[in-house]
């Protein structure tokens, strides 16, 4: 797929994220918007998966660890034909399969429940270790928030991943520097993150997580690495695509109201020249 | 084997003793031979929980996780996506004591086919002291939806319980004691998860026990019958969840009095589960025996049980008091 096509998919994902959060009247906007480009590349260019057979044994796995960004995953899965788009607007409502934080449901492409931070990464290392022992070719991608790395369990998981030399594990860190109480470096500093991960024997690759061609290049390059786990540090902009949301931690756990939605959709639909 | 009775009523001269841990190892080896999807994860306690034979026999199915119980349990959950049946092993104080959130949100919410093995549970962990004497695990596991909670009473039953949990596709917690325990069941004894066993019938009072306390209940029954002419019915409540309500009800309708005993806090344990059920369906007088809202301390396991009132004598005393009233 061309970069321009993936860019358009990312735009569609962002539009759906904003609309579904507006309908739900609550949820996490900033992280979901920041990850749209990565989800577009993973589901429409990188991963082996089959919406017609979600439990296909040869599929690659996406284990979402920072479950609160799930609107971006739901929007992506819907675009990839795992379920009808109108279901998106049941998000966070009673009797919906789209819970406020993901509830495992393989039939619609949700591999794991998540919401309690730090757990998805452990789920991913366990799965990757088990697949590797069985000499299976499936890849395991896991997306973790940067604030999430303050959970000790993540570092337990990293020790294990290195010990088992999990070169089928791709840890994508959503490095947007925001968390509920403020900037990650003020709350509980993570820098130098790349050095920390390298010291845990990960091969680290850092790139612009909102640049389609850089994302694609970084992930494809990482496939060449053997004998150690891979950490892809994606520098993203929280709230990407909407000026008044970008880099503002107040948008971590807030949904746009009708007026904010209108302004945001207008911005998103302008082309690069502002037209 | 026989053990000497040294002024300790929890050990009767006629009792023979076995090892619950060995029962676990035997069950694990049996099931693993039959089902190659069984894998074992252990947090640096492989020999202590007797998974060493598995590790030696099936090195490719064994994962040494290091001292990281949270990661261990979630990694086990992840392996279910590769169709494995993971057994996650550590001491009960840490598994599920330390990783309860992973048990709730990871294993149980998604109904994953994960087996949580909590070794060295209860006061009889002994000399290691209060930090390692898990007395709250039944309370914190039985409240979680979808989870099966099993507390076997002796070596043979532990083997059967281990095989049984490997065959049901649900998250299961298996509670194991470290101390030698009185042999009660045999190869031919009936065992089914969720079906309590009435070990000895009686009409005057129902004694419901689990784990190593089942042996104390049986010994108390003998004393009550020979010395006081009281006929007690002893129920081995090896499954705490799902609770076998029918067996409880049937017995209690006959006796009208209940004593529960467990190597666990009286708050929230098996006795509480029995109380919750009976207060809804058939209120009767109940006395709960167990740890009375305190921490343990270092000491010999059986001495500690005596000191903290988890004993054959205590059952006899409580029965006499209830019947007198």
Q: Which pLDDT score, from 0 to 100, does residue A111 have?
A: 98
Candidates 1.10.3720.10, 3.40.640.10, 3.40.50.2300, 3.40.50.970; CATH matching B17-182: 3.40.50.970
User: Is B78 within 8 Å of A122 when comparing Cβ atoms?
Assistant: yes
CB-based contact, B48 to chain A, within 8 Å: no
**Which pLDDT band holds residue A115 (cuts at 50, 70, 90)?**
very high
pLDDT value at residue B2? 41
Distances (CA, A) of A72 to A31, A32, A39: 8, 5, 7
The chain-wide mean pLDDT, for chain B, equals 95
pLDDT recorded at residue B15: 85
pLDDT tens for B185-232 read 999 999 999 999 999 999 999 999 999 999 999 999 999 999 999 999
Per-residue pLDDT tens digits for B45-72: 999 999 999 999 999 999 999 999 999 9
pLDDT classification of B8: cutoffs 50, 70, 90: low
Contact A160/B75, CB-based, under 8 Å? yes
Contact A17, A241 (CB under 8 A): no
> Above pLDDT 70, what percent of chain B?
96
pLDDT, greater one: A250 or A41: A41
- Residue B101, chain A, CB below 8 Å: the answer is yes
Distance of alpha carbon A239 from alpha carbon A242, whole angstroms? 6
Position B236 scores a pLDDT of: 98
With beta carbons under 8 A apart, name residues in chain B contacting A200.
Answer: none
Domain A3-269 fold is Rossmann fold (3.40.50)
Does the fold of domain B197-324 match that of domain B17-182? yes
Burial of B7 (0-12, 13-18, 19+ CB in 10 A): exposed
Residues 54-73 in A contacting B (C-alpha not used; CB under 8 Å) = 61, 63
Measured between alpha carbons, how far is residue B222 from residues A101, B26, B234, B322 in Å? 55, 31, 11, 17
Both tokens assigned to A112: 């794991």
Instruction: Using alpha carbons only, give the angle B262, B111, B173 rounded to the nearest 5 degrees.
Output: 20
Residues of B in contact with A156 (CB under 8 A): 66, 68, 70-71
Contact A119 B66 (CB under 8 A): no
B13 or B322: which leads in pLDDT: B322
Q: What's the whole-number mean pLDDT along residues A59-87?
A: 98
At residue A88, the pLDDT reads 97
A115 CB within 8 Å of a chain B CB: yes
Report which of B216, B223, B322 is spatially closest to residue B263, judged by C-alpha positions. B216
Interval B269-291 mean pLDDT: 98
Angle formed at CA B224 by CA B220 and CA B230, multiple of 5 degrees: 135
Percent of chain A with pLDDT over 70: 98
Domain range summary for chain B, segments of one domain joined by + = 17-182, 197-324
pLDDT averaged over every residue in chain A: 96
Query: Roughly how many angstroms between the first and final C-alpha of chain B, as a whole number?
Result: 40
Contacts of A171 in chain B (CB under 8 A): none
Does A61 contact B74 at a Cβ distance shorter than 8 Å? no
Q: What is the mean pLDDT of residues A55-62?
A: 97
Whether A274 shows a pLDDT value over 70: the answer reads no
Question: How do residues A194-208 score in pLDDT, each as one tens digit?
Answer: 999 999 999 999 999
Residues of A in contact with B74 (CB under 8 A): 119-120, 122-123, 126, 153, 157
Question: In the prediction, which pLDDT does B324 show?
Answer: 84
Q: What is the pLDDT of residues A123-146, one digit of tens each?
A: 999 999 999 999 999 999 999 999
Write down the domain spans for chain A.
Answer: 3-269
Is A227 in the B-facing interface, judged by CB distances under 8 Å? no
ipTM score here? 0.96
- pLDDT > 80? residue B243: yes
In the structure encoding, which two tokens stand for residue B120, read together?
């060295």
- CB-CB under 8 Å, B106 with A159: no
The CA distances from residue B240 to A101, B22, B93, B274, in Å, are 30, 22, 18, 9
Structure tokens at A1: 């797929």
Q: What value, to the nearest 5°, has the Cα angle with vertex B182 and ends B177 and B186? A: 105
From CA A140, how far away is CA A202, in angstroms rounded? 15
Q: How confident is residue B9, by pLDDT bands cut at 50, 70 and 90?
A: low
Neighbours of A207 (CB within 10 A): 19
For residue B116, pLDDT beyond 70: yes
Select from A63, A153, A163 the Cβ nearest to the Cβ of B70.
A153
Read off the pLDDT of each residue in A230-259 and give the average, rounded to a whole number: 95
pLDDT at A273: 56
Q: How far apart are CA B29 and CA B163, in angstroms?
A: 9
CB–CB of B75 and A63 under 8 A? Answer: no
Contact between chains at A157 and B101 (C-beta distance less than 8 A):
no
Instruction: Specify whether the CB–CB gap between B37 and B11 falls below 8 A.
Output: no
Render pLDDT for B122-153 as a digit per residue (tens, 0 to 9).
999 999 999 999 999 999 999 999 999 999 99
Q: Which fold has domain B197-324?
A: Rossmann fold (3.40.50)
Q: Which residues contact A195 (CB under 8 A, 6 or more apart)?
A: none
Q: How far apart are CA A126 and CA B157, in angstroms?
A: 30
Contact call for residues B154 and B18 (beta carbons, < 8 A): yes
**Are the beta carbons of B74 and B102 closer than 8 angstroms?**
yes
Tell me the C-alpha distance between A132 and A112, whole Å.
19
A165 at the B interface (CB within 8 A)? Answer: no
Tell whether A113 lies on the interface with B, counting CB pairs under 8 A: yes
Residue B92 predicted with pLDDT over 70: yes
Closest partner residue to B106 among A61, A123, A159, by Cβ?
Answer: A123
């Amino acid at each position: 797929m061309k970069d321009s096509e993936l860019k358009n998919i990312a735009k569609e994902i962002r539009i759906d994220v904003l609309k579904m959060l507006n309908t739900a009247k609550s949820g996490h906007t900033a992280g979901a918007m920041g990850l749209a480009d990565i989800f577009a590349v993973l589901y429409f260019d990188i991963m082996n998966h089959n919406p017609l057979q979600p439990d296909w044994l040869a599929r690659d796995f996406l284990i979402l660890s920072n479950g609160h960004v799930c609107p971006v995953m739901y929007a992506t899965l819907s675009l990839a034909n795992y379920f009808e788009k109108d279901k998106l607007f049941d998000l966070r409502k009673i009797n919906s399969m789209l819970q406020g934080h993901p509830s495992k449901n393989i039939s619609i492409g949700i591999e794991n429940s998540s919401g309690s931070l730090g757990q998805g990464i452990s789920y991913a290392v366990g799965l990757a270790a088990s697949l590797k022992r069985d000499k299976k070719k499936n890849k395991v991608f896991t997306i973790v928030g940067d604030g999430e790395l303050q959970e000790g369990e993540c570092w337990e998981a990293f020790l294990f991943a290195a010990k088992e030399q999990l070169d089928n594990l791709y840890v994508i860190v959503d490095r947007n520097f925001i968390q509920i109480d403020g900037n990650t470096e003020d709350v509980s500093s993570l820098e130098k993150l790349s050095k920390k991960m390298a010291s845990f024997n990960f091969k680290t690759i850092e790139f612009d997580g909102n640049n389609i061609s850089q994302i694609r290049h970084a992930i494809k390059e990482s496939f060449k690495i053997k004998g150690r786990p891979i950490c892809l540090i994606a520098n993203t902009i929280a709230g990407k695509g909407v000026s008044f949301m970008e880099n503002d931690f107040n948008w971590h756990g807030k949904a746009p109201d009708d007026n904010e939605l209108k302004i945001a959709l207008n911005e998103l639909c302008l082309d690069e020249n502002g037209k | 084997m026989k053990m000497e009775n040294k002024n300790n009523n929890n050990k009767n001269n006629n009792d023979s003793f076995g090892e619950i841990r060995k029962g676990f190892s035997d069950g694990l080896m049996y099931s693993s031979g039959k089902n190659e999807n069984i894998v074992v994860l252990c947090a640096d306690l492989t020999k202590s929980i007797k998974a060493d034979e598995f590790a030696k026999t099936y090195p490719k199915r064994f994962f040494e996780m290091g001292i990281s119980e949270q990661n261990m349990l979630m990694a086990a959950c992840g392996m279910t996506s590769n169709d494995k049946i993971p057994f996650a092993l550590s001491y009960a104080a840490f598994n599920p004591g330390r990783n309860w959130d992973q048990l709730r949100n990871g294993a149980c919410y998604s109904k994953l086919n994960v087996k949580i093995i909590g070794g060295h549970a209860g006061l009889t962990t002994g000399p290691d002291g209060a930090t390692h004497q898990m007395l709250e695990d039944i309370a914190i596991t039985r409240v979680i939806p979808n989870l099966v909670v099993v507390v076997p009473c002796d070596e043979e039953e532990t083997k059967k319980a281990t095989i049984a949990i490997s065959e049901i596709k649900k998250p299961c917690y298996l509670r194991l004691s470290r101390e030698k325990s009185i042999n009660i069941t045999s190869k031919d004894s009936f065992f089914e998860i969720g079906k309590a066993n009435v070990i000895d019938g009686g009409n005057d009072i129902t004694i419901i026990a689990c784990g190593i306390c089942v042996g104390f209940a049986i010994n108390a029954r003998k004393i009550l019958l020979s010395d006081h002419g009281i006929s007690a019915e002893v129920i081995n409540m090896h499954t705490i969840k799902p609770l076998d309500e029918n067996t409880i009800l049937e017995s209690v309708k006959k006796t009208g009095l209940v004593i529960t005993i467990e190597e666990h806090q009286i708050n929230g344990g098996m006795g509480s589960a029995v109380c919750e059920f009976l207060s809804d369906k058939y209120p009767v007088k109940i006395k709960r025996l167990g740890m009375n809202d305190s921490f343990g301390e270092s000491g010999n396991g059986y001495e500690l049980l005596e000191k903290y009132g988890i004993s054959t004598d205590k059952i006899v005393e409580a029965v006499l008091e209830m019947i007198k009233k």
